[in-house]
């Protein structure tokens, strides 16, 4: 197996070189990625239809379907999602670091056909660098948020 190493805060991590990570952040989510899987497609439109017309407290309310965050799932949210059908979040091949903004970030990693999903929330306003660390087997064992 092709391997790489990264020296991170004086600790040596070993990871497979060919893992691919898609990063769905708040900005991408707002374009129509209701289920945070890094792709804007029919699934997201279906989730929007299910939540259509809802407000917080309604049985079909889904905060992730309220793309513009105005507290109401309406035609504007659906139009946003419909206009961005087919968009895919940026993909990165390990090793890498990215700058992420404040907010929720979902990492969808694909390695040898298996998908690993991990969520993290960047709570401070400063931009952070996230380092993705892999085990020998290709599992995303840890993502680390480091001060930039
Ligand atoms: Ca999606
Ligand atoms: Ca809305």
Please state the rounded mean pLDDT for residues 5-23. Answer: 51
Q: What confidence tier does 2 reach under pLDDT thresholds 50, 70, 90?
A: very low
Last residue of a domain, one of 83, 99, 115: 83
Alpha-carbon distance 134 to 3, whole Å?
10
Q: Are residues 45 and 76 in the same domain?
A: yes
The total domain count for the chain is: 2
Q: Give the distance (Å) from ligand 2 centre to CA of residue 136.
A: 43
Q: Which domain holds residue 138?
A: 3-28+90-147
The CA 127 to ligand 2 mean position distance, Å, reads 26
- CA–CA distance, 22 with 39 (Å, rounded to integer): 9
Residue 13 or residue 131, greater confidence: 131
Tokens of 129: 């660098």
How far is it, in rounded angstroms, from Cα 36 to Cα 91? 14
CATH of residue 56's domain is: 1.10.1330.10
Which two tokens mark 110? 């694909």
CA of 99 to the centre of ligand 2 (A): 27
Say what the pTM is. 0.70
147 Cα: distance to centroid of ligand 1 (angstroms): 29
pLDDT, tens digit (0-9, with 9 covering 90-100), for 50-103: 999 999 999 999 999 999 999 999 999 999 999 999 999 888 766 566 666 677
Kindly give the distance from the C-alpha atom of residue 91 to the centroid of ligand 2, in angstroms, as a whole number.
28
How far is CA 49 from its chain centroid? 22
74 and 119 share one domain = no
Residue 24 has pLDDT above 90, yes or no: no
Average pLDDT over residues 6-13: 38
Q: Which ligand is nearest to the CA of 81?
A: 1
Name the strand (E) or helix (H) holding 48.
helix 42-51
Note the pLDDT tens digit of each residue in 115-124. Answer: 777 777 766 6
What letter would DSSP give residue 60? T
Please give the structure tokens belonging to residue 93: 């091949």
45 shares its domain with 23: no
Q: How confident is the model at residue 14 (pLDDT cuts 50, 70, 90)?
A: very low
Nearest to 36 by CA among 125, 106, 103, 95: 106
Pair 43, 115 in one domain: no
Strand 103-111 relative to strand 11-16, pairing? unpaired
**Which ligand number lies closest to the CA of residue 24?**
1
Backbone CA torsion sign across 87, 127, 104, 8: positive
């Amino acid at each position: 197996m092709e391997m790489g190493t990264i020296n991170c805060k004086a600790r040596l991590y070993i990871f497979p070189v060919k893992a691919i990570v898609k990063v769905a952040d708040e900005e991408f989510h707002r374009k129509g990625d209701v289920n945070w899987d890094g792709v804007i497609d029919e699934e997201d439109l279906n989730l929007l239809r299910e939540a259509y017309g809802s407000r917080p407290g309604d049985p079909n309310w889904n905060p992730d379907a309220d793309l513009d965050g105005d507290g109401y799932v309406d035609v504007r949210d659906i139009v946003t999602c419909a206009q961005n059908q087919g968009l895919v979040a940026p993909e990165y091949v390990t090793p890498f670091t990215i700058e992420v903004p404040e907010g929720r970030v979902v990492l969808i990693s694909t390695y040898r056909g298996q998908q690993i999903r991990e969520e993290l929330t960047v709570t401070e306003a400063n931009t952070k660098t996230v380092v993705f660390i892999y085990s020998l087997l290709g599992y995303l064992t840890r993502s680390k948020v480091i001060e930039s």
